[in-house]
Chains A and B, each alone.
Chain A
Amino acid sequence: MKPALYILSEGERDELFYERLCERLTGFTFSRPDEFRSRHGSNWKSALILARILLDRYRHVSAPQEIAVMIAIDNDRAPGHPGGRAYPRPLPPHDTNKEPRYPKLQAMVNEKLGADPAARNVHAVIAMPVEMIESWLLPLLNAAHSDESLPPFSEADSSIARAYYGGNAPEQLKDLREAERKARKVDLDTLFFDAADTSDLARLNGSKSFAVFREHAEVLKTVWKSDNSN
């Protein structure tokens, strides 16, 4: 039987991207009988509560299970992520005053499942890119996009990006993604899935937030004995 991977994400595109990355990092293929969604654009606290309820749903097992819960949430420039980045100029108070996301989520996971990842009956994988999913997508698509070179914001014409750059902002994460999509003449679903499916994952070696994700995923390899690797 395939191990079960339950993913809480904002949509199917994200879900397939993270699932495929997890498959490649672990060598497992997963069954995914249910889909869980946080509403696109909803606040981080809602996502945290949904993650808590999702873990509660699966954690009450008395013996180790081949079940993992993946929680996929963007960091969105919140402080406190162990894979956080320093930018050439300080982020605005709007961002620096945000509640740290990763530490709070990790604490909740530890509280629900236990602090030792290898000793858990049900496992958790946190996919929290710094700053958003495009931060992992872009290096996979194009080696010219190194983690250190990526901008912090979503779109250049957003007010927050314009304020940060003091006027016209350079292309931001979604702008760069769109340029890659146009260059390849594919739809977004294909762009994301192909990046996760075929790109060299070593291109994300410079991403500390991806390293955290990798660490979580690779726990599954050490604790599960399934022989259904792909």
Chain B
Amino acid sequence: MLTHVHIRNFRSFVDAQTTLRPFTLVLGANGSGKSNFLKFFQATSQKCNDRTVNGQVVSAIPVVFWTKHLKHLGAPFSADLGFTGNKVTKLAHHVDSQNRQWLALTQPIPWQATQLSIYNPSPDRIAAEEAPSSSPTVQGDGSGTAQVLDALKTGDREDLFDKIEDSFRTYVPEVEKLSLRTQENKKQIQIREKGLPALPATELSEGTRLILCLLTILHQEKPPPIVLLEDIDRGLHPRLFEYVAPLIRRIAQDHDINIIATTHNPYLVDYFREDKAAVVLVEKENGESRLIPLPDRLKETTYSDADAEDMPLGQLWFSGLIGGTPRAINPQKKPA
């Protein structure tokens, strides 16, 4: 599992590092660099080529997938990835005699060449009819959800389908049965609510579809080594965070993977009070994004003295006292 990351010269990051937990929550103002943080992992998962560096053949990622910081276009980029057991993979920038550039990996990484998706599902895609696939995966936009569910249900991993269905019923108690219907050889998710006939997913609320997609992403037969979730709270009722946060943490631990999610929701942040090291703040100053593990920022406060019931962690974040919030929208703003 990835425990530490150090990024140099990638998109809005010039020199930023942080620790990571199995389930890491990334907080920050709009435009602070949260999505760029997810894109960093996506960039490291691109297809590799073999290159020779100092007489040794190494895996290398073409730099076409990398975007440098606009103020540091002439500087190299690199990164360190720390894993459990103090293993470190370094990504170093090389330019060969033919002026070809790549990032050489000193050690293989678990998600090498997996082409990670950043999940930001569209309710319409989740509900769409899909032709069965021989190698189904949920895509970043939520397409593939029906394919994965169908493969689990009809393959030999009905246990995973049942887990998804059980969790889905927990979070959406009106649901009685989750199934797939066939229309002209295409599959579509359908739900039967108590006392009602089965309805296609297009008839479900957007939030309900997003919950199902999230559960499917997490319960795929082979979840990616890093699951990247943009705006994880989207469509979820705040009360569900009490159950969803531990579920995601448990899945990450069980599979020994990292789940990294962005959010703007203080209610979700509340559920990280017992795992503050899992919260990372992203802040941008002078066009450069920084990563700050929450415990580092909390050292500057007396928050630990506060009663949890009187002072939820999300409230503290919302206040601006630990950063990761928008700057004054317009300090000089005065109504005309």
Contact = CB atoms under 8 A, between A and B. Distances in A.
Interface of A: 8, 12, 16, 31-39, 42-43, 45-46, 49-50, 52-54, 56-57, 187, 189-190, 193-194, 197
Given A33-B331, A56-B301, A49 B318 contact: no
B32 to A, nearest CB: 15
Contact of A54 (B321, B325, B331): B321
A187 B318 CA distance: 26
Given A56-B301, A190-B335, A32 B328 contact: yes
Contacts of A31: 331
A19 to B, nearest CB: 10
B302 A38 contact: no
Consensus secondary structure, chain B interface: loop
Contacts of B315: 38-39, 42, 46, 50
Contacts of B241: none
B321 A36 contact: yes
B267 to A, nearest CB: 10
A52 B306 CA distance: 10
B53 interface: no
Interface core residue of A31, A34, A50 (most chain B CB under 10 Å):
A50
B333 to A, nearest CB: 7
Nearest to B326: A35
A36 B300 contact: no
Contact of B319 (A12, A37, A45, A56): A37
10 contacts: A12-B333, A31-B331, A32-B331, A34-B320, A34-B328, A37-B318, A53-B303, A53-B306, A56-B301, A190-B335
Given A33-B328, A56-B302, A50 B333 contact: no
A163 B249 CA distance: 47
Nearest to B334: A193
Given A16-B333, A35-B320, 17 more contacts: A12-B329, A12-B333, A16-B334, A33-B328, A33-B331, A35-B328, A36-B320, A37-B318, A39-B319, A43-B310, A46-B315, A50-B316, A53-B302, A53-B306, A56-B302, A189-B335, A193-B335
Contacts of A35: 320, 325, 327-328
A35 B329 CA distance: 9
A22 B329 CA distance: 21
B318 A53 contact: no
A45 B306 CA distance: 10
B266 interface: yes
Contacts of A54: 321
A46 B310 CA distance: 5
Given A34-B320, A50-B316, A53-B321, A45 B302 contact: no
Contacts of B329: 12
A186 to B, nearest CB: 8
A61 to B, nearest CB: 14
A42 B315 CA distance: 9
- Shortest Cβ-Cβ A-B pairs, 8 listed: A45-B310, A190-B335, A49-B311, A193-B335, A36-B320, A49-B306, A189-B335, A35-B328
Contacts of B335: 187, 189-190, 193-194
